[in-house]
Amino acid sequence: MQLASGTPFTARVLGDIRDVASGTNGTLRANDNGAAIELSDPTTAQFFNTAAFSIPSAGTFGNAGRNTIIGPGTSVMNLGLTRNLAFGQTRGASIQILANNVFNTVQFASIDTIVNSPTFGQVTAVRPMRRVQLMLRFRI
């Protein structure tokens, strides 16, 4: 079993490449509006409260802190079963089944934290679904 809390993200604003001359690298922090960031029932369409952030006014820097958005966590159950069969003194077979994400639960991987993006606040990637591997070994 694997349990992990979510990775922290920072709300950002993609800026113009000309911002590099003013000391930034094309991305700025967003403004924190003071609203609660976490939602009680996050969905793929809105993982966190997008109204908590806004684009800073022209020529100013945003006041949102780093790593204020907690991303999706992980809860995965993996399973491995092995059976050894003997055929005489030195011969045998080994059957092994390995399964990742046994219950095939959806695991969100990443969210969009760019305020001026059309998918801001949405889940943008998921981790792999269930995978089962069967291995058979013969010993002669």
Q: Could you tell me the residue ranges of all domains in the chain?
A: 2-139
In tens, the pLDDT along 110-126 reads 999 999 889 999 999 99
Residue 68 is predicted with a pLDDT of: 92
**Mean pLDDT throughout 76-98?**
93
pTM of the model: 0.73
Residue 137 is predicted with a pLDDT of: 94
- Whole-number Å distance between alpha carbons of 54 and 65: 13
Query: Beta-carbon neighbour count of residue 108 at 10 Å?
Result: 18
CB 130 within 8 A of CB 101: yes
Q: At 50, is the secondary structure helix, strand, or coil?
A: helix
